[in-house]
Amino acid sequence: MPSAPDSASIPVIPGFHPDPSVCRAGEDYYLVCSSFEYYPGIPVFHSRDLVHWTQIGNALDRPDQLRLPPDAHSSGGLYAPTLRYHDGRFWLIVTNVNGDGNLLFTATDPAGPWSDPVRLPGVHGIDPDLAWDEHGTCWCTVAGISQVRIDPRTGETLGEPRRLWSGAPGAKTPEAPHLYRIGAYWYLLIAEGGTERCHGVSIARARTPDGPFEPCPANPVLTHRGTDHPVQNTGHADLVQGPDGSWWMVFLGVRPRGGSPDWHVLGRETFLAPVTWVDDWPVVGELTSARTPPPWPLRPPAEAPVRDDFDGGGLAPGWISPRIRREEDCTTGERAGWLTLRARGQSLDDTDVTFVGRRQQHLSCRAWTLLDPAEGSGGLAVRLDERHHYEIEATASEVRVVARIGPLRSVVASRPSAGGPVVLGVGTTPVQEITDPRDGPDTVAFYVREADGTRTELVRLDGRYLSTEVAGGFTGRVIGLYASAGTVRFDWFDYEPYED
């Protein structure tokens, strides 16, 4: 039987929001996550309490900041940003694995605009981190774990990189380094064990930022490997201090469901835990969520709307597209109150498909849209990558459900259409009781809403095939709108979560 969800299994930023990095400026917290092949890149969140977060923008929202070639593979693109507040400015460093390497951006307002990139050709490796010492020297540490001094304003490296402490002997994939000055020590926080079930967080300390580093005797300080905790793959952490002097850790985790070997479908999500210090070492407590908040008074921001009527001058920051979003192919300015999409690729199998979506953030949810396919074909899709997606698609004469699973593509249901605008829907339902060890994590159902308001279910599919354990990679599900031929127009999009 799956574990019943409780407050400790609820992420503070649900859905595909991995590799969190956090900083505080005054009483405000800001957090960024990896975005991989999606544009715009690097979502930026704001909070006053570390629990309730609102997306205020995307750091890389101009084509000259983020170059992703049309054939960039899924789970490529932008890896593991670090966000820091230093000397009155916000600093963001990130790796574009599809050609540009390590890049550094600055802003006075984290909501944007962010600067053009400063390139770091002398910094080799992913997961770059920034830290400044009391002399103003900037230290850049990358996965591996190696370190080099840099001039963050020019991107010039100062000296040769050198290896640092790389975690437990024999542990694979030492990555996600973050360097901090806390009290009398410099602390080097890393992830190790790989981002799957053996993921964990370890820490070492030194008297100087370049070591030598002494490992914590209680390492790993955070891991759920080998446990039945409902949150697994915990790692890739960052530390931040609260206004009352308390310490907190943000980190990624997944919520696997179903039989063996368990599947997670939303991607890696952002979680929070309190940190105390014992003998100058951090001790990580139980996970914290909106249901078990930190001790200071909460001032939660208003919830972002789950319905978009496309009445504004552009798309909200939560909308993302694979690799690029061309204004001529995706616009709210052509027909007032409608989103217009023009097809490039012929289907979601193509890397240049015209698609705009939002991350699925709840295990139980429904999404609906009203579209007009009079000039083409398109619909509503649940996407993991080009080889793993389900969609319900409308033409002027037909509504059909298509499943792409690895090398297989099939129309799994269809019905005639009366022509004209049509309301299409998709819903996900977690499996509540495991009766067979092969049971999947959830089902994905597709609907047509009839003229009288009733809904007709066309088909219900196994959700395991849209999971990371099947598809591989580093991303999670995105639910969105697409065009596969001609021009398709969407009047509204409605996302309705249920209690998980």
303 catalytic residue (yes or no): no
Q: List beta partners, residue 182.
A: 185
Find tokens 């064990």 and name the residue.
Answer: 193
Q: Would you state the structure tokens that stand for residue 226, as one six-digit string?
A: 């080998």
Least Cα distance to 283 among 231, 239, 233 occurs for: 239
Answer whether 267's CB lies under 8 Å from 385's CB. Answer: no
Q: Tell me which H or E stretch contains 471.
A: helix 468-471
Active-site residue, from 129, 175, 210, 442:
175
Angle formed at CA 95 by CA 92 and CA 98, multiple of 5 degrees: 140
Smallest Cα–Cα separation from 38: which of 350, 378, 495, 478? 478
Would you state the structure tokens that stand for residue 130, as one six-digit string?
A: 């920034």
39, 201, 261, 466 from 42: Cα distances, Å: 8, 23, 31, 23
Active site residue 375: no
How far apart (Å, rounded) are the C-alpha atoms in residues 405 and 465? 6
- 78-86/28-32 β-pairing: unpaired
Q: How far is CA 188 from CA 43, 146, 155, 212, in A?
A: 25, 11, 22, 11
Burial of residue 168 (number of CB atoms within 10 Å: 0-12, 13-18, 19+): middle
- C-alpha separations of 97 from 34, 141, 166, 476 in Å: 12, 17, 22, 19
Residues serving a catalytic function are 19, 175
